[in-house]
Structure 1
Amino acid sequence: MTQPAEPLLDRWLADAELLATRAGRDLWLAEGSMLLGHWSQEHRRYHTPQHLAEVLRALDELTGAGHLDARQALLARAVGWYHDVHYDPAARPGSNEQRSAMMARDHLHRMGVEDWAVDAVEAGVLMTADHDADGPGRVAEQQVLDAAHDADLWILSAPADRYAAYRTQVREEYAHVPDDAFRAGRAQIIGAFAERERIYRTAHAHEGWTARARANLAAELADL
């Protein structure tokens, strides 16, 4: 499924105006076009505008449930935009998130975003490397980190047909990895999530998404 770029760009422009009020439309538009260009790179199969749109919809749901106020929601959406802006499936673990965080910091500063907001977005992007929202240096903007964590992992709780498509997309992104190695690595990753006492950090996601997530994870582990 392809995600049309226009609605996403409109969402970015609306948020950019709030994040970087004085940057002006030309800079907002250039940044949004750059972001969507990265998200639309040909080598991507899962980390695409579809995933970005799902993250933003999950954040909308968490905001509607009262987990985030307007300011926090804005920061969490910015994390969503930048968290996979750099994505190379052959990169060493953590490298994509580090490079995405550096890009976020550099580009947001260039647009005149205030330091405290840049720091919050950077922390959120770095958190997605290990999905440890309590890690060192991640205390500030805890609600933003929790929401970004859950939105990025919404896919684990997707309806069965979407989860099946997600599995296919991930395998296609890692087509360079032999089957045995992929199955072992994938089992290790999703097994770690399945073993967590709590997959989601916000009350809304914990209560509403956990059952589907555990069912999806158990089914995939059985297949592997």
Structure 2
Amino acid sequence: MTVLVDPPSWPAHGTLWSHLVSDTSLDELHRFAGAVGIARRAFDLDHYDVPASRYDELVASGAVPVGGRDLARRLVASGLRVPGRDRRAAKDAALLGRWSAVWASEHPAPLELGRSLLDRWHEPHRTYHDAAHLTFVLDSLDQLLAESPGTAGPPRTLHLALWFHDAVHDGVAGDDEKRSAALAVESLTPLLEPIDVAEVARLVRLTATHDPDAADLAGALVCDADLAILGTSSDRYARYARQVRAKYAHVPDDVFASARAEVLETLLTRPALYRTDQGRRAWEARARANVGAEIAALRR
């Protein structure tokens, strides 16, 4: 177990605060925090804020004392670090605001459903498919819609598909998407017309393959948003790759490298990674460069 704590040096609320992190997994961090009685509300996406009065107790309980710079360096290297902009955007208040906007004035926003979905996105075992990922894919969809010359039906169904697409995430490819789609049907049936419920569920299932039909603009938009991470900056992509590796930390390095490389090589055999014109313009070239670089590293 490698849980780290830096010296209390951040002033707020009349005291100084430390950061408590793990450079191995969030699950480990949550277990440690729970064991020493730190409330989950103190968790801020990649660390716990703890007051100076608890510093000595945390060290005595097994947290390794390190300097602030060393803590930040090791958190970044672990792939668990969430940049400040992403942390702010992924906070529940911001996401619940976006959830409410999906419903607009046509229907009162079901806030309890939004909160229950956020609880799922905050599950401690998630390394990549977390609230930051939800924020990123919603941002990516908004970018695609802003540049889209056509229509893909009600934008609400597209946004809801992304809210539900990894709502069930137990690490079982294909099954997670089916169960997420079933959750969408169960949750949305009392709220929407059957045709809209069926469309949300269809789009959620489609994220298992990211292979929509040529005429399926709605499917193309949702799949492109979900794959937008491939076309980000090299630094952001490297963090994503580390998070994927952390998800499969139980798999030996050689087995993981071979399997991951095969998955990525299959992606590159596609004529295009993105199905929309705007997705190809924005992300295709960088995505192919990022994926190619990761494959080369894995094969080494």
Long gaps (5+) in structure 2: 1-81
Structure with the larger strand share: 2
More displaced stretch, 51-60 vs 71-80: 71-80
| Residue aligned with 2:246, SS | helix
Shift in Å, 1:53: 0.7
Give yes or no for contact 1:67–1:202 (8 Å, CA) kept in 2: no
Partner Cα separation in structure 2 for residue 13 and residue 68 of structure 1:
25
One-letter amino acid of the counterpart of residue 215, structure 1: A
Is the aligned partner of 1:81 residue 2:167?
no
Structure with the larger helix share: 1
Q: 1:122 aligns with which of 182, 192, 201?
A: 201
Give yes or no for contact 1:62–1:68 (8 Å, CA) kept in 2: no
TM-score relative to the length of structure 2: 0.67
One-letter amino acid of the counterpart of residue 11, structure 1: R
Partner Cα separation in structure 2 for residue 174 and residue 200 of structure 1:
26
Partner Cα separation in structure 1 for residue 98 and residue 165 of structure 2:
16
Q: What is the RMSD of the two structures over their aligned residues, measured on CA atoms?
A: 1.7
Q: Residues 18 and 180 of structure 1: is their aligned pair in 2 closer, same or farther, counting only changes over 3 Å?
A: farther
Within a 5 Å distance, the mapping from 1:1-224 to structure 2 comes to 1=82, 2=87, 3-17=90-104, 21=107, 24-25=108-109, 28-67=110-149, 69=151, 71-89=153-171, 91=172, 93-110=173-190, 112-134=191-213, 142-224=216-298
One-letter amino acid of the counterpart of residue 195, structure 2: W
Deviations 1:154-182 (A, max 9, x none): 00101111101001111111112221221
Partner Cα separation in structure 2 for residue 206 and residue 103 of structure 1:
31
More displaced stretch, 176-185 vs 78-87: 176-185
One-letter amino acid of the counterpart of residue 95, structure 2: L
Q: Work out which of the two has the higher radius of gyration on C-alpha atoms and give 1 or 2.
A: 2
Partner Cα separation in structure 1 for residue 159 and residue 253 of structure 2:
35
Long gaps (5+) in structure 1: none
Q: How many residues are paired up? A: 211
Q: Residues 199 and 70 of structure 1: is their aligned pair in 2 closer, same or farther, counting only changes over 3 Å?
A: closer
TM-score relative to the length of structure 1: 0.89
Partner Cα separation in structure 2 for residue 127 and residue 68 of structure 1:
20
Q: Residues 68 and 43 of structure 1: is their aligned pair in 2 closer, same or farther, counting only changes over 3 Å?
A: farther
Give yes or no for contact 2:128–2:244 (8 Å, CA) kept in 1: yes
Partner Cα separation in structure 2 for residue 70 and residue 11 of structure 1:
20
